[in-house]
Amino acid sequence: MLRRPKVLPASATVADARAVLADDHVHAALVVDGGVLLAVVERGDLDPSVPAAMPAALVGRLAGRTVGPDADLDATWSEMAARGRRRMAVVDGDGVLLGLLCLKRSGRGFCSDADVAARAADRVL
């Protein structure tokens, strides 16, 4: 699980979410307020007809996009692979964002904070 995923504030707009999701490595924009996850926004949520100024939290959702910290990892992995889902937000019972499960493109494991840092360092070079 990524322990420090990139997040958007509660004030984020659809335009902000579109900007974040313009990076093809980013599969979900996490909208949070005081640590509480309000919505997971994916590209499919951002229909071109949705106004850019609309709050991003209104176009995303939590259902089917979150998992608890005590969820069985093998079962979660299998479900993600079967549904073609590469990202699942990890939240506690109060909805506080704890991290992000990121299924690798190969589907054979999850990204780590070290993987993300290495990819970011490669882009800088």
Q: Please write the tens of the pLDDT for every residue from 19-72.
A: 999 988 889 999 999 999 999 999 999 999 999 999 999 999 999 999 999 999
pLDDT bin (cut points 50, 70, 90) of residue 91 is: very high
Q: Where are the domains of the chain?
A: 7-124
**CATH tag for 7-124 (out of 3.30.70.20, 3.20.10.10, 3.10.580.10, 3.20.20.150):** 3.10.580.10
Contacts of range 106-114, beta carbons closer than 8 Å, 24 or more positions apart: 107/81, 110/1, 110/77, 111/2, 112/2, 113/2, 113/3, 113/4
